[in-house]
Amino acid sequence: MKKMGKTTPFKEQILQRKKKLEALVEKYGYPYPNDFKPEVALKSIRDKFEALSGKEIEKKKVKFRVAGRVMAIRLFGKAAFAVIKDSTSTIQLFFQKNELGDKYSEFKKLIDIGDIIGAEGILFKTKTGELTVNVEDFRILVKSLRPLPEKWHGLSDVEVRYRQRYVDLIVNDSVREIFKTRAKIIKLIRGFLDDRGFMEVETPMMHSIPGGAKARPFTTHHNALDMDLYLRIAPELYLKRLVVGGFERVYELNRNFRNEGISTQHNPEFTMIEFYQTYATFENLMDLTEELITYLLKEIKGDLKITYLDKELDFTPPWERMTLRDAIVKYAGVPENKLFDEDFLRNKLRQYEIDTTMLTTAGELQTTIFEEFVEEQLINPTFVTHFPVEVSPLARRNLKDPSVTDRFELYIYGREIANAFSELNDPHDQLERFKMQLEDRERGDEEVPPEIDYDYVRALEYGLPPTAGEGIGIDRLVMLLTNQSSIREVILFPLLRRKKEEEWG
């Protein structure tokens, strides 16, 4: 690799292929034709003819023009089989010297695995019952200059799989399937919400004040306006402005950006859906969430009981609902009469060497205990409700107990999948909470927005109808539905460190 300097610019196999490309130039001129139009997707041939017998197919004498990437070649002396693949399926091609005459040697000498070819011929079934096109004419549409990974083991080096996802997709069918499923899930979610009168909107990705969540943002700069901007950490505040504007059911399904650690659960850019529904409460959204996710399970998995990694998950409704305080009593062993005993809570955390210096209230201590001891135990889908006010700056206070909010988070396999609440629409309370947050920032919490979004408060002053809103992490949901343990397996191009050009292989 390092020696790819002037002496050996290309490896042996690439050179071989370049020679073949030159032969094509000599024969046809420009070797990248674009006038070949395949008439069918390969899957449609299989769908129509797979079930028929060889004799029935031969009687029909159907001719097809097909195109795809050559995935395998099995060469005999004067005949050969090749398998081509398109986005839908594969089909076998049969090349015979009898049929093709001189052109047979073009196949034999110039076609490599990886090339994209177009072919035309009559469909038949081989002795072994394989649906095959008996090629009458063909054309190399694109000469592939680089050898593909091995046919049997495929490509398994994760680094190469992520950096050169195109190769991963060519070679690993299971990877293709994951991303097809991802697309299907997203489509189903859109359909589900569209059917219920929601409108999809697009709000800014570049914010002058990062808000709507607690996270470190990416910063950027607009030259003409000479203005610093942040990539959004959440669309929440803009979506609620739209609700103020009169769009009563809106959603946005798109990227958020958070400048934080990378892990099997975190990618700096990730996909989230947020939706807002007026005249609904967080309780209505629990029902809706249950409906949505069971709908996805039925469509994608065909079952409400699934295996995810090492565990069996049961999505049969109704899902368990419990308050955060009940959860820490039940799962973290906090006695009910100690729930508000800050010293007790703090000591419990300290026993496990958890830093409590940033935690100044019972609510924050309760939340941390929940995160540290309870989350991981919530395997089957569980709604945890009534988060403390201090950790819910945008959520409506509970009328009976103003120390908590009308909020829930959905946990599955110990992971937060959704976060929702009845929206805080009291502009005065909202401003007070923003001010409280700013104090946290002054105490060193860099995840709090650097300044108050007064325009958002102003919007509330015009009147936000009673509304409930929710965010669902799409990547994590896709992980569940495709049984993947790493978020990078469900993101086409996960962020990786840059590699130097000399290291191109």
Q: Residue 350, interface with RNA (CB under 7 A)?
A: no
Using the contact rule CB under 7 A, the part of the chain among 60-68, 78-86, 286-294, 313-321 near RNA is 78-86
Phi and psi of 185, rounded to 5°?
-60, -45
> Among residues 127 and 400, whose Cβ is nearest to RNA?
127
Choosing from 88, 89, 96, 181, the residue that interacts with RNA (CB under 7 A) is 96
Q: Choose the stretch contacting RNA; rule: CB under 7 A; options: 37-45, 182-190, 192-200, 485-493.
A: 485-493
Task: List the beta strands (DSSP E) in 105-248.
Answer: 116-125, 131-142, 199-200, 206-207, 219-222, 227-231
Which DSSP category does 359 fall into? Answer: -
Which of 101, 197, 246, 261 binds RNA (CB under 7 A)? It is: 261
**CB closer to RNA out of 252 and 297:** 252
Q: How far is CA 430 from CA 232, 296, 389, 434, in A?
A: 20, 35, 11, 6
Q: Which member of 38, 147, 268, 427 binds RNA (CB under 7 A)?
A: 147
Residues forming beta bridges with residue 83, ordered by sequence position: 72, 92
User: CB under 7 A: which stretch of 124-132, 196-204, 221-229, 296-304 binds RNA?
Assistant: 124-132
Instruction: Note whether 259 binds RNA by CB under 7 A.
Output: no
**Could you say whether residue 242 binds RNA (CB under 7 A)?**
no
State which of positions 9-38 bind RNA (CB under 7 A): 11-13, 16, 20
3-state helix, strand, coil in the chain (%, to 5): 40, 25, 40
- Tokens 């860099």 correspond to 446
Place of tokens 């063909």: 138
CB 429 within 8 A of CB 396: no
Q: Torsions phi, psi of 387, nearest 5?
A: -70, 150
Q: Which range touches RNA (CB under 7 A), out of 7-15, 29-37, 41-49, 315-323?
A: 7-15
Helix axes 173-195, 282-300, angle to 10 degrees: 140
Residue range at the interface with RNA (CB under 7 A); choices 158-166, 195-203, 242-250, 341-349: 158-166
Under the binding rule (CB under 7 A), the answer on residue 195 touching RNA is no
Q: How far apart are alpha carbons 207 and 226 in whole angstroms?
A: 14
Total residues interacting with RNA, rule: CB under 7 A: 79
* Residue pair 324/392 in contact by the 8 Å Cβ criterion: no
- Closest approach of Cβ 159 to RNA, in Å? 4
- Report the residue number, 229 or 448, with the smaller CB distance to RNA: 448
CB of 360 to RNA, least distance (A): 14
Instruction: Compute the least distance from the CB of residue 286 to RNA, in Å.
Output: 18
Give whole-number Cα distances, 495 to 177, 257, 262, 483, 489, in Å.
21, 12, 9, 21, 12
Helix runs in 245-337, H state only: 282-300, 324-332
Rounded to whole angstroms, the Cα distance separating 42 from 132 reads: 11
Q: Using CB under 7 A, which of 113, 145, 306, 457 touches RNA?
A: 113
Residue 431 tokens read as 């401003």
Contact range with RNA by CB under 7 A, out of 183-191, 211-219, 280-288, 451-459:
211-219
Compare residues 249 and 433 and give the one whose CB is closer to RNA.
Answer: 433
Determine if 199 is a binding residue for RNA (CB under 7 A). Answer: no
Among 59, 78, 187, 435, indicate the residue that binds RNA (CB under 7 A): 78
Interaction of residue 308 with RNA, rule CB under 7 A: no
Q: Which of residues 384-423 bind RNA (CB under 7 A)?
A: 391-394, 419
DSSP 3-state assignment of 343? helix
Nearer Cβ to RNA (249/258): 258
Beta strand pairing call for 90-96 and 131-142: parallel
Among 102, 226, 355, 442, binds RNA (CB under 7 A): 355
Q: Check residue 371 and report its DSSP letter.
A: I
* Residue with Cβ nearer RNA (130 or 426): 130
Asked if 121 touches RNA (CB under 7 A), the answer is no
Q: Applying CB under 7 A, does 221 fall inside the site for RNA?
A: no
